[in-house]
Amino acid sequence: MKKVTSLLALVLALLMLFTACGEPAVTTEATKDTNATTEASTTEEATTATTATTEAKACVHEWEVLEGTAPGVLTEGTGKFKCKLCEETFEGTLPATKKIKILAIGNSFSVDAMETHLHKVFAALGIEATLGNLYIGGCSLDTHWNNIENNKKAYTYYYKSAQKSSFTSITNSVNSALKSQDWDIITIQQVSQDSGRPETFNNLQNILDFIEANKTNPNAKIYWHMTWAYAQGSTHDGFKNYNKDQMTMYNAITDAVENYIMKYDAIDGVIPSGTAIQNLRTSYIGDNLTRDGYHLNFTADSLGRLTASVTWAAALTGSDLSDFKYENKAYPSVAEAVPAIVDAVLNAVKTPFDVTPSKYPPEEPVVVPNEALTEEDKAILKGYGVNPDDYEALPLDLTLHAYYNSSGGSTLTTKSNSTATNLVNFIATQIFEKAQIPNGSIIYIKDGYQYRPEGWTALNTKTASRPGNVTTEFVVVDSAWWGSFNYRAFNIAIEGAAASAVVAEKDMGVFKVYIPKNPVEEKPAEKPAIPTREELADTSKYKKLDIDFTVHAYYNSSDNTYKSTMITSSNSTASNIPNFIATQIFTKEELPVGAVIVVDKGYQYRPEGWTALNTKTANRPGNVTDEIVVIDDAWWGSFNHRAFNLSKNPNATMKQSDTEHFAIYIPVK
């Protein structure tokens, strides 16, 4: 790494400043003495002062730097200065700049770090930040180098000056963006699925050489953005590179950066976002920092993106964050989480290649034992032909006049945090984990009442399709009831939940959950055998599905605006549209269990999914490069509709002929 900071820019700046002003803008003892003798009470004293002034003006100082350090964003500079003409010397300090200009050559992970919070974090630290981000989704080092080598305007360039409150965007090239500002910091990163694979870094030296040759600020520093491991359970196709294990991925990333990236002389430092995220995962916030298993969350409190932004600020300025405060009035949990975030970030900056357990660990769950059945409970179970001796009652911890709305998060809505007029119509339970309501449990609701079994894949996230109300009196829990959810809770109401149907304490006994004393786990379904391409060509076994391809189009199931609408040039100006081909949307009946998806090497597809059309999907499925995939129940999960975006790997403009590289086969009955 480069260790020596050139003083050339400092020398030139000081010469210009001091020659123009005559005297340096620093505090010295000589300045204090001069100020002390400015008053003259007699003619003789005035004459002496005049003579002294004449002598002082005899030399128009031209200062040069003998030695010193340049000021940083938050640190003062120091210097010993000497006049070329009279050899007068002095020592002084230069104020911190409180300004920074950052350019990222990145992808969606640099968007996560920069877009939502970074300029606000810098502002909270008293720093004016100019930010630029060269973005292509899923862009690798190889693609960056290809674009640089051919001077392609292939990027969406997001730019925000220190004076603006939001980003603007244009189509741009690396060369143009690099020369558009005297950047202080230039960052580089690898595409996430390859971030722990040094064998994919072959073009890094070429990129570094180009930056060094074309940057307009000779003192600009190059930083490596060390990205994060995926959430455990992520569906990203690249997770298989790390055996679909979070810590395996994290360790691969840190090993690659420590033992490979940091050996490049041109790289001045690392931004340890990946370690900050991993540190925070050991806190009470847990593994709830992504929106789709790999991109950091930007909805609700967006603690994932905030953590990355704070990491950038700390790593690039040296701030100790001691006075850092940050809040979002709409989400008080943000201010509450800042101490845990700061702890995670400072430890990441201090030890960037190792996880440091949080000082804010999760609280140990209070396990409330199931309760013995009452006579009423026994009577209910006997009425449905169930032996009461095999069950216990689940403690519900009911809250009167409260409810959840899983499409808005997992916070319980009560009179203390809401003025909603319909609170009086509901009773809410606590939130339960899967282990608390195992398969074989029984849910009972009294006739004339209803419940909504809210569900979340992770706490502090939104559920795209909110479960409906249930009036069925007797329901047995199985794997399908849980679906993709890991947490559930219940809102209880009088059937119909009319505004006049106010619930009271007398209604708190109408809902019951009974837990089997000896639950039996369902055996996971066996994975179907994967057929060969020769077997798929056998028309007696499979029929090739007719697919309605649309060239230069794609879906984004997690987009607030488009949802299940196909994105094309007729309804969007997105620059990446030519890189995709979209299919029609399929139902479960059209893609039954046993159907086979085939994609050729060099191509990939994203199997978009929706529980209902015209709704947003919280966790967007990742890209798939497996050449043959057999559809099973797990593939459908909670989705009822799916469609495919076909693209090349790496991305490139698609043509009609590329449709030949994707097919779906339906088993012949």
Q: Please answer whether residues 135 and 156 qualify as being in contact, where contact means their C-beta atoms are separated by less than 8 angstroms.
A: yes
DSSP 254: H
At residue 521, the pLDDT reads: 74
Interatomic CA distance for residues 568 and 565, integer angstroms: 9
Q: Which residue has the higher pLDDT, 242 or 38?
A: 242
Determine contact, residues 451/475, Cβ cutoff 8 Å: no
> pLDDT band at 524, cuts 50/70/90?
low
Amino acid, res. 424 = V
Distance CA 214, CA 103 (A): 13
- CATH number of the domain located at residue range(s) 99-350 in this protein: 3.40.50.1110
Looking up tokens 């005049």 gives 50
Alpha helices in 218-302 (DSSP H): 246-259, 273-281
Residue 26 confidence (pLDDT): 45
pLDDT score recorded for residue 300: 59
User: What's the pLDDT tens digit per position in 487-508?
Assistant: 999 999 999 877 789 999 999 9
| Predicted local distance difference test score (pLDDT) of residue 49 | 38
User: Between 273-281 and 246-259, two packed helices, what is the crossing angle to 10 degrees?
Assistant: 150
Poorest-pLDDT segment among 47-61, 345-359, 386-400, 527-541: 47-61
Average pLDDT, the chain: 88
pTM: 0.62
CA distance 80 to 75: 17
Q: Is the pLDDT of residue 475 over 70?
A: yes
Give the count of beta carbons closer than 10 Å to the beta carbon of residue 420.
15
* Better-scored residue on pLDDT, 305 or 287: 305
Q: What percent of the chain has pLDDT over 90?
A: 67
How many whole angstroms separate alpha carbon 444 and alpha carbon 622?
38
pLDDT-based confidence at 318, cuts 50/70/90?
very high
- Is residue 95 predicted with pLDDT exceeding 90? no
DSSP state of 165: S
Question: Average pLDDT for residues 91-107, to the nearest whole number?
Answer: 93
Q: Is 410 helix (H, G, I), strand (E, B) or coil?
A: coil
The yes-or-no verdict on residue 36 having pLDDT over 90 is: no
Mean pLDDT of 628-632: 94
Interatomic CA distance for residues 207 and 145, integer angstroms: 6
Cβ atoms of 657 and 530 within 8 Å: the answer is no
Rounded-to-integer distance, Cα 452 and Cα 492, Å: 7
Handedness of CA 94, 100, 105, 110 (dihedral sign): positive
The pLDDT value given to residue 499? 74
By percentage, how much of the chain surpasses pLDDT 70? 89
Residue 117 is classified by DSSP as T
Ordered by start, the domain boundaries in the chain are 8-94, 99-350, 375-516, 533-667
Chain segment 185-221, per-residue pLDDT in tens: 999 999 999 999 999 999 999 999 999 999 999 999 9
Contact status, residue 640 vs residue 588, Cβ threshold 8 Å: yes
The encoded tokens of residue 659 equal 């449709």
- Alpha helices (runs of H) in 100-164, residue ranges in sequence order: 108-114, 118-124, 141-149
Reference 349, options 326, 316, 309, 324; nearest CA is 316
pLDDT in tens, 396-424: 999 999 999 987 778 889 887 788 899 99
Q: Decide: helix, strand or coil at residue 269.
A: strand
Per-residue pLDDT at 322: 87
333 pLDDT tier (thresholds 50, 70, 90): confident
Specify the pLDDT at position 409: 74
pLDDT grade, residue 386 (50/70/90)? very high
- At 442 the pLDDT is 97
Q: Helix (H, G, I), strand (E, B), or coil: what is residue 654?
A: coil
Q: What is the dihedral of CA 190, 193, 196, 200, to 10 degrees?
A: -60
- Which residues make Cβ contacts (< 8 Å) with residue 205, sequence separation at least 6? 264
Q: In which band, very low, low, confident or very high, does the pLDDT at 44 lie, cut at 50, 70 and 90? A: very low
Which amino acid is present at 151? N
How are strands ordered across the β-sheet holding 128-135? 168-172, 155-160, 128-135, 99-106, 185-188, 221-225, 267-271
Rg (CA), the chain: 32
Mean pLDDT of 36-40: 35
Give CA–CA dist 642/659, Å, rounded. Answer: 18
For residues 138 and 651, the answer to whether their CB atoms sit within 8 Å is: yes
pLDDT of residue 57: 62
Q: Evaluate if residue 294 carries a pLDDT over 70.
A: yes
Encode pLDDT of 103-157 as tens digits. Answer: 999 999 999 999 999 999 999 999 999 999 999 999 999 999 999 999 999 999 9
